Structure 1
Amino acid sequence: MKSSEQYIESLEKKLKKVKGLSSKDVKQSEMIRSLETCRHLQNSQYLASNDTMNDTVTVDEVTNSMFVAMQRKLNPEKQALNPLELLPLVEDDVLSKQTETQDGNLT
């Protein structure tokens, strides 16, 4: 009887390991503490480094990329999903030409 119970217990332990439910599961507070220390370490390394912004990247490029990223968040429906969406739909607009000629004839 004991051997079968031990066997079942060992199989349950193996199943927990396979599922990732070991007794060493990370608790929420431990995870948060670990992430905080990692963030503080990264911030201190960033502040300690003497690296400056790459000379090839100008301030205009940085602000432009920030603007584009902000526009994507604020107005996702107005953003192009692929390069084809950036092409003009109508290159030879007949209606606008007619109105231009009519406006020209009226004056």
Structure 2
Amino acid sequence: MQLTQERKKALKAIGHKLNPVVTVAGNGLSESVILEIDRALEDHELIKVKFAVGDRDLKKDLLVETEKVTRSTLVQSIGNIGLFYRPAKEPQLRKSNLLKD
């Protein structure tokens, strides 16, 4: 999904105050990690994922793979943190990071 620059800017502003909800360790993307990221995206729409892997190239590969496997969009990557967005099928006011505030 392509995002306009204005939409990316708005998502980055919302994502700035978020904490990572999933941590990907050196093992990479296991099935349980992918399921947890998928569940978090469905609940919150916009999430941060921490990639605690030592290698910069591996981190880049994991960012791309996460985006592909979860059918989400990587909005921003700073350091070890990736900000991912995927609109929920049925957004819930209490859970969605986009509908809060």
Q: TM-score, normalised by structure 1?
A: 0.20
Task: Answer with 1 or 2: which has the greater Rg.
Answer: 1
TM-score by length of 2: 0.21
Q: Which has the higher contact order (CA 8 A, sep 6+)?
A: 2
